[in-house]
Amino acid sequence: MRKALSLILTLLMILSVPTLAFADSEITVTGTGEVLVPADVAVVSLGISAADPDVLAAQAKANQAIASIREALIAFGIPEEDINTDYINIYALYDYSGDEEVIRAYKANSTLAIRVTEIEKVGDVIDTAFGAGANTLNSISFSASDTRDALEKAMRAAVEDARAKAEVFADAAGLQIIGVEDIVEQGAVSYDRGAVNSFKAADTAVAGTFVQSAKLSVTSSVSITFKTNK
């Protein structure tokens, strides 16, 4: 009986050794992918800033200028639905030189957001607006109308990046990747990657406004858990 029990225990110990040696383990890594695409849409934010001692006069100046700018842009070829109000504000300008603060004038600001689908004409749009009375240029943002293909490529690149990292870790640890346990998408974004803008006030005596857009970056990131063994 004792010999039989001893033999059983010995067999159990022998069988347990390979089980521990080949037990699965996991490696979790993150991967990122990036694809650059050209911008094909721009939104230009520009408008008018007008001041007057009378608040209604300041508002009227801004309204008249914006109307002129809109008319000029429509005549240039920008669809009316692509010319929208960005923001409007009116505030007092104070004189603090005396014992009491005194309202010196009122400043009215009115800004348009202009959607431009022909990137090469962005500079001409700015010049047209300034020629019609605009005196403020706030920003230009660039985007791409379709990033689906770029996003798919970025996602594939992110998975490949994660796999390459896992291979390095597994090799360093003396392991082999035998499969994938889990994939979690951590996010995908697109953004203007360092657009280079050079602005020049509109003037018939000088060259027109030059605008150059860098490509947009479409990125994806994933977290992947790989199964490994020895």
pLDDT at residue 186 in the model: 83
126 shares its domain with 173: no
Indicate whether 85 and 98 sit together in one domain.
yes
pLDDT of amino acid 195: 47
Q: What is the pLDDT of residue 99?
A: 82
Amino acid 4: pLDDT: 52
Q: How many domains are there within the chain?
A: 2
Q: Is 35 in the same domain as 45?
A: no
Question: The pTM is what?
Answer: 0.72
The pLDDT mean for the chain works out to 85
Task: Give percent above pLDDT 90 in the chain.
Answer: 63
Can you give the residue range of the structural domain that contains 139?
A: 41-143
Q: Which of 13-27, 50-64, 87-101, 204-218 has the highest mean pLDDT?
A: 50-64
CA dihedral 171, 175, 176, 179 (to 10 degrees): -120
Amino acid at 151: L
15 domain-assigned? no
Would the pLDDT of 145 be above 50? yes
Rounded CA separation 230/83 (Å): 64
Give pLDDT, residue 211. 82
Under 8 Å between Cβ of 58 and 50: yes
> Does 46 share its domain with 81?
yes
189-223: per-residue pLDDT in tens?
Answer: 776 665 444 444 444 445 678 887 778 889 999 99
